[in-house]
Structures are given as structure tokens and as C-alpha cells.
Chain A
Amino acid sequence: MATKAPSHQRQQLLGRAIIYGGLLFMAAFYLMPLWVMITTSVKHLDEIYAGSFIGLPKQITFEAWQTAWSEACNGTACRGLKPYFINSLLMTIPAVLLSTGIGAINGYVITKWRFPGSNVIFGLLLFGCFLPFQAVILPMAQTLGMLGLAGTIPGLVLVHTVYGIAFTTLFFRNYFISIPDELVKAAQIDGAGFIRIFVSIILPTALPIIVVSCIWQFTQIWNDFLFGASFTAGENAPITVALNNIVNVSMGRKQYNVDMAAAMIAALPTLIVYVVAGRYFVRGLTAGAVKG
């Protein structure tokens, strides 16, 4: 190593500089929108209109956040994002838990209790991951109407749960398939049955994938717009729909700082989850590539 020619060393140094330069430039590009959102949300509206877009705020104010949270107008109602934030929580939490639980059991059956046709069933479920929801919106709207759930939060919980099963089953199937079948056989010889093996043997090993599934489902459901916009209106809308309405209100002087604060409020739950458990989030993302 010591005999390396100096020109070679210089070349290597240059290479490193280019690599780091490129990466830092990309990082700046990626962080810029977040930076703009945050700084804009804490500026006075006058400062914004005076032409400060990228710079630091002269004076930090949380007025816009206050407005976005409890006063911003969504159509005719001016109650801010707060009620819709709560709607989203009420919709997301049950749907996440239900779809994860069902996915766990499905994955267990598909990997550890294979029967003729179980692979076909998995294939049928799997396509659900890639279903363009436009193709089912109309019948779903009709069905929710028939069930008396049209426009309600329980209706959204139902929709998100049933369309989440495909992904959660995929997660658990891919995880459980790497657990040796011998574990189940050993437990069978020990006298444990279908449910006992699931509860005492399989589920305790599945903690990481439970986290992955919960995070993925949380992000998907919280960020959903299509179902929210199609199946709810007014009071029961989730936060993404409310945010879009607030931003698209075209009365008076556009309050960009309120728009950005509202966007931040809508983004915060998933961003926090990402910061806290990013590792699991990435695993969920790459699981979309079926084999992972």
C-alpha cells in the first residue's frame, strides 16, 4: 500500500470528493422542501409576500400553526385541522391493528399449514397489493351504502382493513417462511395444536415483522387520499382530504404559512414514525418487491 504512486492517490482523493459532493448536493435537494415548509410555516405572512422564500424567518411565530390547527377554513367550516386529525387517528389505529392481526394469522397458515391450493390463495391475495383502487371504488361505494357505512369512519376502517390484508399477509408470509418448519413439528410432537403453536411459538418470534406491518399500514392509511375523498365528505373526512381542501381554498390573500403549517401537521405523525423506526419502514418498502 505504501508504494502507491502519488498521482494515484490524488485521483482517489478526487474520486472521494466527487462522491461526497454528489451525495451532499442530493441531500440538499431532498431536504429543501422540508426546510421550506418548516421555515415558511413559522414566518409572518407579510414577510412571505415581501419575498423571503428560502431564508431564515426574521421572527419566528407559531400563529400559522395555531390557525392551521384550530381555525383554518375547509369549505364553509372553519375549525382547523384538529377534528380531521382525530378522524384520521380513529380511522388509522383500528385499521392498522385489524389488518396486521389478520395478516399474521394468514401468513402463519400459508407458510406453516400448507394445504393443496394454499399457494393459489396466496397468489390471489398478492394481486390485491397491486390493485388500482379506481377499479373497485364504485362497487365499494355501493356496498358501504348498503351496509349503512357510507361516509362514516367505521366505513373507512373497513375499507382500509380489507385492502390492507394483501400487504400484511405478504409481510408475514415472507417472514414466517424463513422460520424453520421443524419448529412447528417439534411443537406438534410436544403436543401443541394450531392455536397454541401460533400464540406461544410463532407470534413471539414475529415482533420485528409486526412492527414493520404496523408502520407500513399506518403510513399507507394515514396518507391515503383516494378512499377518504371517495367515501367521506365534510365532517368525517380524514386529514389528507381536509388538508387538500384548506390549501385549495381560494378566498382572499393566500395564507402560505398556514398551508405549510397544515401540511406539516398532516405529515408529522408519519414523519415521527419514520424518524423513530426508519429501519422497519425501509423493510416494509422493500418487501413490496415480493422477495424483498
Chain B
Amino acid sequence: MSGSIPFSDRIANWLPRLVLAPSLLVVLVVVYLFICWTGWISLSSSMIVPKYDFVGLSQYVRLWSTPRWHTAVFNLVIFSVLFLGITTLLGLLMAILLDQKIRCEGALRAIFLYPMALSFIVTGTAWKWILNPALGVQKVVNDLGWTSFVFDWIARPSFAIYCVVIAAVWQSTGFAMALFLAGLRGIDNSVIKAAQIEGASLPLIYRQIVIPMLRPAFLSVIVLLSYIAIKSFDLILALTNTGPGSATEMPSTFMYSATFRRDQMGVGAASAMMMLMTVVAIIVPYLYSELKETGDGH
């Protein structure tokens, strides 16, 4: 650039960058610097307050020798597998049913989606009441005449995690449905017509043609649901409060109670880093592939 450019023009050239700079700075600090900070704490001997010494990986060793953390990881695996599996399948089924030129489609869609507008605390509160063995669903069925019916999962340590799955599925299926529906609407109708002319039945068309074409939607659904699963925190606190005992402990609740209730800040930070690594392993490749596809030439 030659020196003849007026000063005001040079400012104008830099204005976009100047405007973006504060946001970038803030995000660099509150996301990336804070992650490093947490990482640092996880390598220190911090208990009640942060201490900035260095004890190597001993907090991670402590974390992985804590039975409660094992429960949490085990629960996360069970929860994720069931939650992802059921939500994806149910969401897909609902999207396909809704895509059959249904009357009142808008109203039905609204009904399936409204739980997404609720706080997990509200969801947890409601389901806690519904699953209450003394007064909830069990009692209703008992009163209907089936007196031997038992549905007391929420009070049984080995079943309580399934209650969390039920509530989480109820809350999130609409979301999966919305993504699948968007995917279905994006499919060129002539493909389906062509298959129909060749004599393929509707279930066959869906199995062989439509569902394979929904691959991008599947990817989005699974990634986003995994993210919801890993960070799920409020739902557990509201529904089971990690109980009975610590039967429904999850990494997120473990992190919270280690840090704020049990004065084991170092262990808490270590567990947070474990969660972060899991999310990064899922999200970063996803974002990379999404951005690469949308990325523009120059």
C-alpha cells in the first residue's frame, strides 16, 4: 500500500478487525485461557481454594481410583447408549410419520417439541412426580386393577438411571425429530417418485433410499445428542439428585460436588478435563467436517 491513502480510509480498512477484536479476546480468555487454567488446577494440589503448585497427574490418579467416578463413567456410558439410541430411532420414526402429509402436522410438531423449551429442572421435577411409586404411574395402574404392577425404578439403585433416560428422551426426541424432518424435507421428491415408479414399496424406499440420504442429519443428531448427554447435569440433580445413594452419579454431577461440596477442587478440575476431552474428541472432527464442506474458496 502506498502512503497516499488518507488516514480515515486506513482506519476504515482496520475497522472490521477492530470490531471483532473484543469478542475474539473475550472468547480466547473465557474459553481457551480458562480451559488451560482448569488444566493447571487439575495438575495442582488444590483442595478448598486453588493452589498453583505442581503435583503431576496425581489428581487424575486419585480421580480414577475413586469408586464414585467409576459409577459416574459407567452411568454415562449406559445413559449415552440408551439415550442416543432411543432418541435417534424415535425421532426418526416421528419425523417419517410426520412427513406423510399429515393433517395438523404443525400442531403435532409443536407438541413433540415443546419439552425443548423447558428447563431440565422443570422436566426433572415433573418426571420425579410421575415416577413416584406411591402416587404416580404405578398407583394409576394399580388402581386400574393391575395390583401387582410395579414401577418403582426411581427408588431402586440399579434402575434409577433408566428413569433419567426416560425423562431425557422425553425432552430431546423432538429435537432429533426436527433435525430429521429438516433432512427429509431437503430430499428431492423426484428420487422417491422414481423409486415408486420402479415399483418399490414405501418401507423399502425409506430403508434403501431415504434413510441413507439422511446421513448428514444422523451425524448432526448423534453429535448434538452426545453433547447433551455428556453435559447433562440439571436433569439428574432435579430428578434423582444423583441418588438413590450415588446410583445416578454422572461426570457432570461428580465434578460439581467434588468442587463445590467436597472441597476436592483438584479432583473436580481433573474430572472437568476428562469431560472436556471427551467432548473435544466428538465435536472437533464434526465441526471440522461441517466447516470444510461449507468452507468457501478464498
Residue A240 interfacial (CB < 8 Å): yes
- Asked if B19 and A132 sit within 8 Å, CB to CB, the answer is no
Chain A nearest CB from B141 CB (Å) reads 10
Segment at the interface with A among B61-69, B155-163, B207-215, B286-294: B286-294
Residue A189 interfacial (CB < 8 Å): no
Chain B nearest CB from A259 CB (Å) reads 6
- Asked if A33 and B19 sit within 8 Å, CB to CB, the answer is no
Interface of A is mostly: helix
With beta carbons under 8 angstroms apart, the residue of B19, B38, B178, B217 that contacts A136 is B38
Closest to B143 in A: A51
- Asked if B112 and A27 sit within 8 Å, CB to CB, the answer is yes
B contacts with A, residue count (CB < 8 A)? 97
Interface string of A115-131 (1 = CB under 8 A from B): 10011010111111011
Segment at the interface with A among B76-84, B146-154, B190-198, B264-272: B264-272
Complex Cα–Cα for A267 and B38 (A): 33
Contacts of A165 in B (CB 8 A): 23, 26-27
Closest to B46 in A: A138
Closest to B238 in A: A244
Known contacts: A135-B275, A139-B38, A263-B125. The answer to whether A226 contacts B117 by CB under 8 A is no
Residue A169 interfacial (CB < 8 Å): yes
Closest to B231 in A: A132
Chain A nearest CB from B42 CB (Å) reads 9
- Asked if A134 and B272 sit within 8 Å, CB to CB, the answer is yes
- Asked if B38 and A135 sit within 8 Å, CB to CB, the answer is yes
Chain A nearest CB from B111 CB (Å) reads 5
Contacts of B202 in A (CB 8 A): 15
- Asked if A138 and B140 sit within 8 Å, CB to CB, the answer is no
- Asked if A291 and B34 sit within 8 Å, CB to CB, the answer is no
Chain B nearest CB from A272 CB (Å) reads 9
- Asked if B233 and A225 sit within 8 Å, CB to CB, the answer is yes
Residue A93 interfacial (CB < 8 Å): no
Segment at the interface with B among A69-77, A101-109, A204-212: A101-109
Complex Cα–Cα for A132 and B256 (A): 12
Interface string of A184-209 (1 = CB under 8 A from B): 00000000011100000000000000
Closest to B271 in A: A134
Closest to B107 in A: A27
Chain B residues within 8 Å of A, Cβ to Cβ: 12, 15-17, 19-20, 23-24, 26-28, 30-35, 37-38, 41, 50, 93-94, 97-98, 100, 102, 108-123, 125-130, 135-137, 139-140, 143, 170, 174-175, 178-179, 182, 202, 216-217, 220, 224, 227, 230-231, 233-234, 237-238, 241, 251-252, 255-256, 259-260, 265, 268-269, 271-273, 275-276, 279, 283-284, 287, 290-291, 293-295
What 10 A-B pairs are tightest by C-beta distance, nearest first? A113-B16, A223-B119, A289-B220, A225-B234, A274-B117, A139-B37, A136-B34, A139-B34, A135-B276, A134-B272
Assuming A230-B260, A244-B234, A244-B238, what are 9 further A-B pairs, CB within 8 angstroms? A34-B114, A36-B129, A130-B279, A131-B31, A136-B38, A225-B119, A256-B135, A282-B109, A286-B182
**A–B pairs, 23, beta carbons within 8 Å:** A26-B94, A26-B112, A33-B115, A33-B170, A34-B114, A36-B126, A53-B139, A53-B140, A110-B20, A121-B20, A125-B24, A128-B27, A134-B252, A134-B275, A135-B34, A136-B35, A139-B41, A165-B23, A224-B119, A240-B234, A247-B238, A278-B113, A288-B224
Chain A residues within 8 Å of B, Cβ to Cβ: 15, 19-20, 22-23, 26-27, 29-34, 36-37, 40, 48-49, 51, 53-54, 102, 105-106, 109-110, 113, 115, 118-119, 121, 123-128, 130-140, 142-143, 162-163, 165-166, 169, 193-195, 219, 222-226, 229-230, 240, 243-244, 247-248, 256, 259-260, 262-263, 266-267, 270-271, 273-275, 278, 281-282, 285-286, 288-292
